[in-house]
């Protein structure tokens, strides 16, 4: 390389090479390192492009299979992070750095983080189980961990519920999975369980026929399975009937409230009484008092 080339480029390559030789550095080593550095950057860049392609392809496949949105996001993020670690290690190895030590460092760091975040990892594992086995979904009304409400979000660490009085309750997933889960929305139909008490003086056949007419008049009550109307107990102050109509899950509360009101009004018209608890008190007067 002549002086004119060095001057035109603005950098004196001869001086640089002379400096490297004076300091005992082989110019070939510098060239190899530069080449490896360029290859490492190329590996990292191409690897990131490949990761994006793989994740997009995985997302399309999961969308075609109608996979839960939460599971789709979780799996795609997990695959992206795992592949990115592989690409970084490959790029570092291309430079000439021993990757074994880095793997050991990552392992030790992962162990330390795992010990420090045991509770969060427990919630994370429970979130994975919820997403995989789907004991409930967004929109279901459930009871778990001592609270009940409609499921608004199923996150990796928590489940967000909205109670009937419009309060937001955030429950850790580990507590949900470690408790009994009651999903009121899992099935299309539900049975309304009611107890109606009447006086011992009332005609039981008339009571049964009156309730049957009220049940038949409500179009929301299903004909199959048939509604159960039967005497369940001879209580202290009343004869108790069980009334168990089947309805669609969405009509449960409406039918319960409306049928209760209709029974009260109709019984008043028919002269059927609702007995109050009664007690007989006997007074004895002691002699000489």
Closest CA to 267 of 203, 184, 173, 179: 203
* 135-183, CATH topology level: SH3 type barrels. (2.30.30)
The CATH number of 13-116 is 1.10.287.1260
Q: What is the pLDDT of residues 217-260, one digit of tens each?
A: 999 999 999 999 999 999 988 999 999 999 999 999 999 999 99
User: What is the per-residue DSSP string for 132-148?
Assistant: HH-SS-TT-EEEETTEE
Q: Given pLDDT bands bounded at 50, 70 and 90, which one contains residue 111?
A: low
Query: Whole-structure pTM over 0.85, yes or no?
Result: no
Spatial separation of the C-alpha atoms in residues 168 and 161, rounded to whole Å: 6
Query: Quick one: pLDDT at residue 171?
Result: 95
Check: CB of residue 149 under 8 Å from CB of residue 169.
yes
Q: Which two tokens stand for residue 274?
A: 């609702």
Query: Quick one: pLDDT at residue 24?
Result: 56
Spatial separation of the C-alpha atoms in residues 40 and 93, rounded to whole Å: 8
Q: Given pLDDT bands bounded at 50, 70 and 90, which one contains residue 264?
A: very high
Among 1-5, 87-91, 169-173, 205-209, the range scoring the smallest mean pLDDT is 1-5
Among 61-65, 67-71, 176-180, the range scoring the smallest mean pLDDT is 67-71
Q: What is the pLDDT of residues 267-280, one digit of tens each?
A: 999 999 988 776 77
Q: Given pLDDT bands bounded at 50, 70 and 90, which one contains residue 70?
A: low
Query: For 143, what's the count of Cα atoms within 13 Å in the CB-facing half-sphere?
Result: 5
Q: Which two tokens stand for residue 164?
A: 């009937």
Neighbours of 97 (CB within 10 A): 14
Mean of the pLDDT values across residues 98-122? 65
Spatial separation of the C-alpha atoms in residues 275 and 7, rounded to whole Å: 113
- Rg, C-alpha atoms of the chain: 38
In order of 133, 144, 185, 247, the CA distances from 189 in angstroms are 22, 21, 9, 6
| In this structure, CATH architecture of domain 189-270 | 2-Layer Sandwich (3.30)
Residue recorded with tokens 């074994």: 100
Q: Is 98 helix (H, G, I), strand (E, B) or coil?
A: coil
Answer whether 13-116 and 135-183 agree in fold: no
Query: Quick one: pLDDT at residue 288?
Result: 64
**Domain residue spans in the chain?**
13-116, 135-183, 189-270
Q: What is the pLDDT of residues 204-213, one digit of tens each?
A: 999 999 999 9
Among 29-33, 142-146, 183-187, 250-254, the range scoring the smallest mean pLDDT is 29-33
Residue 50 has pLDDT above 80, yes or no: yes
Residue 167 has pLDDT above 80, yes or no: yes
Residue 97 has pLDDT above 80, yes or no: no
Spatial separation of the C-alpha atoms in residues 250 and 264, rounded to whole Å: 24
Helices and strands in the chain: count of H runs, count of E runs: 9, 10
Distance of CA 157 to the CA centre of its chain: 9
Spatial separation of the C-alpha atoms in residues 173 and 139, rounded to whole Å: 17
User: What is the per-residue DSSP string for 11-59?
Assistant: S-HHHHHHHHHHTT--HHHHHHHHHHHHHHHHHHHHHHHHHHHHHHHHH
**Strand runs labelled E in 85-238:** 141-144, 147-154, 158-162, 168-172, 182-183, 189-191, 194-198, 228-234
Spatial separation of the C-alpha atoms in residues 28 and 2, rounded to whole Å: 20
Spatial separation of the C-alpha atoms in residues 84 and 109, rounded to whole Å: 17
Check: CB of residue 201 under 8 Å from CB of residue 272.
no
CB proximity list for 14: less than 8 A, separation 6 or greater = 1, 3, 6
């Amino acid at each position: 390389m002549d002086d004119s080339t060095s001057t035109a480029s603005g950098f004196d390559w001869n001086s640089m090479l002379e400096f490297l030789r004076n300091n005992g550095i082989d110019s070939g080593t510098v060239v190899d390192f530069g080449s490896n550095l360029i290859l490492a950057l190329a590996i990292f860049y191409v690897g990131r492009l490949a990761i994006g392609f793989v994740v997009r392809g995985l997302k399309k496949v999961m969308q075609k299979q109608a996979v839960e949105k939460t599971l789709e996001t979780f799996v795609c993020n997990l695959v992206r992070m795992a592949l990115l670690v592989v690409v970084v290690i490959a790029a570092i190895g291309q430079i000439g750095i021993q990757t074994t030590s880095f793997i050991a460092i990552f392992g030790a760091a992962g162990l330390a983080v795992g010990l420090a975040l045991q509770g969060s990892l427990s919630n994370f594992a429970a979130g994975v189980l919820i997403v995989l086995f789907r004991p409930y979904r967004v929109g279901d009304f459930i009871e778990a961990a001592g609270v009940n409400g409609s499921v608004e979000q199923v996150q990796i660490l928590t489940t967000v519920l909205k109670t009937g009085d419009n309060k937001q309750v955030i429950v850790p997933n580990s507590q949900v999975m470690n408790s009994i889960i009651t999903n009121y929305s899992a099935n299309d139909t539900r049975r309304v369980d009611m107890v109606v008490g009447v006086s011992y003086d009332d005609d039981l056949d008339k009571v049964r026929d009156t309730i049957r007419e009220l049940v038949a008049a409500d179009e929301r009550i299903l004909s199959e399975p048939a509604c159960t109307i039967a005497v369940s107990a001879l209580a202290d102050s009343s004869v108790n009937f069980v009334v168990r109509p089947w309805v669609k899950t969405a009509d449960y509360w409406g039918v319960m409230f409306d049928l209760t009101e209709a029974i009260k009004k109709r019984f008043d018209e028919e002269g059927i009484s609702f007995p109050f608890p009664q007690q007989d008190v006997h007074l004895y007067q002691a002699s000489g008092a």
